[in-house]
Amino acid sequence: MKRIVIKFGGTSVGSIKKIINAAKIIKKRHEENNEVIVVVSAMSGTTDDLINRSRQVSDSFNKTELDVLMSSGEQISSSLLAGAIIELGIKARSWLGWQIPILTNDNHASSQIMQIKTDEILNFISQKGVAVIAGFQGVSKENRITTLGRGGSDLSAVAIAKFFQTDSCEIYTDVEGILTTDPSINKNAKKIDKISYEEMLEMSSLGAKVMQPSAVQTAMTNNISVHVRSTFSRKSGTKIISESDIDNRRVVTGIAYSKKNAKVSIVGVVDKPGVAADVFEPIGKNNINIDMVIQNTSLDGKKANITFTIKQEDLKKTLSIIEKNKKKINYNKVTHDDKLAKVSIIGAGMIASPGVTYKMFRCLADEKINILAISTSEIKISVLIREALTQKAVKALHKVFGLN
């Protein structure tokens, strides 16, 4: 007998009809003599609706109360799904995060799971019951409801696979698996049969929305094999596994992108030790994430320009922080540019394949796409371009690296 965790995303339980369909999938897996733990997201659109309601009350809605509000979506879907399973003649019940409990730290809106108590659920599934757990939520040591960040039900599923020592972790979604790129902007996107943790982590952190990055990180750290598959088809899906089990003859695995980026350049700062820390410390203290960073030094070595990228929504706040710290940073001027996009190629095979960088840059040049910034790692190359050219860039790169 195997123990499995099955997670259904919001689009997979977006209506009563879809919830009943998910219950039938669970029944089939249960009848295959598996101990089944189910993790469920809120019905599609619910979380956004709850956030919008909070904004009608206040633009700075209290974070602890926001977690209480946002977690209510999973309470609804877990109850409906448990009820649908019972209707099919199978013993089932729902659990909320605080009932298990799933213990987290108190970093509201993006908490980390510290411990999951397993006794009660293990006893229930050993007696042929199906446990339906509300994803995305937990409880802090202060006994307050917490949430795990957008897409947090993925993290719930992987963490449950870890603490319950399951044999597999299956993520059901509305696509047939991990695709080489976003099919909404490139119809030639195709399914990837196997992808390494490292490649998936890069793709998810660079804009691919199939899995939450922290969930991929947890799976990689604990060597948990994850199977992403469609709720609405019987196709095999994509397995996320160790890099040692991947055929790296494929140089580029996928193309990811993220829109709504902004670039800030601080011109004419004194080039001395600590200047970068002076620039980024107050920005970091205001919980603004910095992405690409470029520093250019003048020929005489006395002045430097520091350029970095942030999310478009953080631009106004970032410019205000820099202005407030002008005396400490000591710069000549600040320039900025928004409506930018980051496009990335990802592939573990890039490590042993010279010429990938040239091939990417030549492809973009041939399409008359100007590169505004560059960031690299062993298995990815990211470029900053004008947002309006995103689709053109993704399509061209997808073709030139043989992914069509």
Taking only the tens place, the pLDDT of each residue in 78-94 is 999 999 999 999 999 99
Question: pLDDT at position 16, please?
Answer: 98
CB 81 within 8 A of CB 13: yes
Q: Residue with structure tokens 């001395």? A: 272
Question: pLDDT at position 180, please?
Answer: 93
CATH of the structural domain 2-174, one choice from 3.40.80.10, 3.40.1160.10, 1.10.760.10, 3.90.1150.10:
3.40.1160.10
Please state, for a pLDDT cut of 90, what percent of the chain lies above it. Answer: 82
Read off the tokens for 378. Answer: 């062993």
Per-residue pLDDT tens over the stretch 262-317: 999 999 998 888 989 999 999 999 989 999 999 888 777 788 899 999 999 999 99
- Total count of residues recorded for the chain: 404
CB 197 within 8 A of CB 220: yes
Question: 3-state SS of the chain?
Answer: CEEEEEEECHHHHCCHHHHHHHHHHHHHHHHCCEEEEEEECCCCCHHHHHHHHHHHHCCCCCHHHHHHHHCHHHHHHHHHHHHHHHHCCCCEEEECHHHCCEEECCCCCCCCEEEECCHHHHHHHHCCCEEEEECCEEECCCCCEEECCCCHHHHHHHHHHHHCCCCEEEEEECCCCCECCCCCCCCCCCECCEEEHHHHHHHHHCCCCCCCHHHHHHHHHCCCCEEEEECCCCCCCEEEECHHHCCCCCCCCEEEEEEEEEEEEEEEEECCCCHHHHHHHHHHHCCCCCCCEEEEECCCCCEEEEEEEEEHHHHHHHHHHHHHCHHHHCCCEEEEEEEEEEEEEECHHHHHCCCHHHHHHHHHHHCCCCCCEEEEECCEEEEEEEHHHHHHHHHHHHHHCCCC
Average confidence (pLDDT) over 184-191: 92
Average confidence (pLDDT) over 372-395: 94
Question: pLDDT at position 234, please?
Answer: 85
Cis-peptide into 213, omega within 30 deg: no
Question: pLDDT at position 211, please?
Answer: 87
Q: Is the pLDDT of residue 246 over 80?
A: no
pTM of the shown model:
0.85
List all residues 6 or more positions away from 224 whose beta carbon is below 8 Å from its beta carbon. 158, 161, 162, 169, 218
Q: Is the pLDDT of residue 203 over 80?
A: yes
Burial of 168 (0-12, 13-18, 19+ CB in 10 A): middle
CA dihedral 372, 211, 178, 32 (to 10 degrees): 180
Question: pLDDT at position 210, please?
Answer: 78
Q: Is 144 left (phi over 0), alpha (psi -120 to 50) or beta?
A: beta
Question: pLDDT at position 248, please?
Answer: 60
Closest by CA position to 80, among listed 92, 98, 66: 92
Per-residue pLDDT tens over the stretch 44-57: 999 999 999 999 99
Per-residue pLDDT tens over the stretch 220-235: 999 999 999 999 988 8
Strands 226-230 and 168-173: parallel
Closest by CA position to 190, among listed 199, 181, 201: 181
CB 296 within 8 A of CB 373: no
d(CA 62, CA 69): 10
For residue 142, what are the β-bridge partners?
none
Strands 293-297 and 333-346: unpaired
Question: pLDDT at position 249, please?
Answer: 67
